[in-house]
Amino acid sequence: MKSFKQYILSVTTLLLLGSCDKDFIEINTNPYAVTEIDPALLFAGAQRTHLGNWTAEHTIVQQFVNPYNQGATLGFNFNEDIDGVSNPKWDQSYPGPIKNMMQAMSLLGEDTERSNLYNMLRIWKAQVFMGLVDAYGDVPYFDAGKAVTEGIFFPAYDDDAVIYEDLRKELTEAVSALNPSADYVAEDLFFGSNSESPSGNASAQVEQWKKLGNSLLLRLGMRYSKIDESKAQAIVTQAFNAGVMTSNADNAYVKYDGTLYTQAENSNLRNFSYFNYAAEPFVNQLKSTNDPRGQYILAVYEDPAAVANDLDPDTELANQYGVPVGVISTDLADPNGPYRGARGGGLDYSQLNIYSVVSPAAPDFWVTYAQTSFLLAEAAHRGWIVGNAQTYYENGVKADLKVYALYPHTNPITDAEIETYLAQDGVAYNSTDALNLINTQYWIANIRNGTEAFANFRRSGFPELSPNLSNNNLQGGFARRLSYPDYEASTNTENYTVASEAIGGDNLLSRVFWDIP
């Protein structure tokens, strides 16, 4: 009897297994799963790359201050190497944009019929890696983003100077390969169908991407100005002759609606306004020159700890006061001390304007005509390109002031206001002080591009800021780079160790190759 039961059980099991195997694939396949993806969508997702965060790059160049010495918020205002402050540039470049672009390029292949998409990917990948090199020095490059395509899970770090050489090659080749008779990339966030400045056809889109690629090449060339002037001149001349941006219509930017799609860094300042303060050197620059952008950058709120409750903050430039760099909040709040003291739940100092430049609906600008004009002004001043340095400089100022019309709750800055500003002491062009004037304006123009503000400050040495002397962690100087994420030391240990030794140590004082003392 027992063996008969076992026989019945065995037959039943076999029948059930046969039945399950028959429908196994259908049962275990999600009919709604994404099994294929358009590389153009990966490209669009990768265009919104990291621009720097307020408590890192913007703090180093003294545009922003978090004066609260509280563990993770300590950061660069107190010359401290806090992992969470240095990480965003890395975390928002590799896991998303780089991997997306590498996968998209792998799906397309070099011989793809969608050649414009392929070469736009190459140009934008170069932009992302330029920012990574500028921030950290040696980084994974040739093996980066190849975990899925080639099974490289622990990429080696490459020499930053070697990466820059390849970026020059990539930009040059990709710009040259763009074809006005080839594919139109509708998904392009900068100049595609749903962008703020739709090009409408492949020919117009290619023209704008050529200008974008050449403007990036100009930026790359200027990085060599301290280390190799002849090389800088050669690259700058190449980019200039090939054709860079010529108006604000060429700007590479994305605008947010502030509700469904928001600028995350700005949203944090709005939601955690307790830590949101403008730095004294930046405020003083805007005040001393009666800068018409100031009202859209700075604001005084009734309660600094609840800025969203104040719908009409004070934006008069005369009433703005920046937080001194490197001073702790308890000293700033002391009613008997030398500072302005407390106000509401915070400090009696200016904060950033959450309704305009720091609105969740503010646009992000990666490469602009204003930036490009200032770089051309410096190149012309150095005699590297033809043209009048003053004209390039004034074009840059005008372009940046005009672009403020894209920010929420602003009125267009008029031509009369611009001319008045250009005549101000500290703004009016003169060849003797040209480098200071040009690069100070570059600093202002990059109020929301901390990556570029930090890089150009190290390259040019302007504006002339005083080092943060809250302690001697930086030996009386400035941070020269961001540190690698701590998790790289534990997960990619061998490659991290080699890279750290190669750059002179994973610390804030090691320098990227173009930043010589």
pLDDT digits (tens, 9 = 90+) for 328-374: 999 999 999 999 999 999 999 999 999 999 999 999 999 999 999 99
- The upper half-sphere exposure of residue 498, i.e. CA atoms within 13 Å in the direction of its Cβ, equals 11
DSSP string, 444-490: HHTTT-HHHHHHHHHHH--S-PPP--SSSTTTTS---SPPPPHHHHH
Q: What is the DSSP letter of 139?
A: E
Is residue 28 over pLDDT 80? no
Is residue 10 over pLDDT 50? no
Alpha-carbon distance of 400 to 295, in angstroms, equals 15
pTM of the predicted model over 0.85 = yes
Give the pLDDT of residue 392.
99
Mean pLDDT, rounded, for 293-304: 98
Please tell me the least confidently modeled range out of 10-14, 177-181, 310-314: 10-14
Alpha-carbon distance of 222 to 134, in angstroms, equals 13
Amino acid at 153: F
335-356 burial: b if 16+ Cβ within 10 Å, else e: eeeebeebbeebbbbbbbbbbb
How confident is residue 133, by pLDDT bands cut at 50, 70 and 90?
very high
Mean pLDDT, rounded, for 126-150: 96
Alpha-carbon distance of 441 to 409, in angstroms, equals 23
> pLDDT per residue over 29-70, tens digit each?
445 444 589 999 999 999 999 999 999 999 999 999 999 987
Give the pLDDT of residue 35.
53
> pLDDT per residue over 37-48, tens digit each?
999 999 999 999
Q: Which two tokens stand for residue 164?
A: 């820059």
Alpha-carbon distance of 333 to 305, in angstroms, equals 14
Is residue 17 over pLDDT 70? no
Share of the chain above pLDDT 70, in %: 93
Q: Which two tokens stand for residue 147?
A: 């975990």
Amino acid at 154: F
Give the pLDDT of residue 274.
80
Mean pLDDT, rounded, for 100-112: 96
CB 56 within 8 A of CB 88: yes
User: Which residues fall within 8 angstroms of residue 80, CB to CB, at 6 or more apart?
Assistant: 74, 473
Closest CA to 257 of 169, 355, 185, 363: 363
Is residue 4 over pLDDT 70? no
Residue the block writes with tokens 């609906």: 361
Mean pLDDT, rounded, for 155-164: 98
How confident is residue 250, by pLDDT bands cut at 50, 70 and 90?
very high
CA 489, chain centre distance (Å): 24
Pick the more confident residue, 22 or 279: 279
For 261-363, where are the E strands, in sequence order?
A: 277-278, 298-299, 342-343, 346-347, 351-352
> pLDDT per residue over 210-219, tens digit each?
999 999 999 9
Alpha-carbon distance of 317 to 284, in angstroms, equals 10
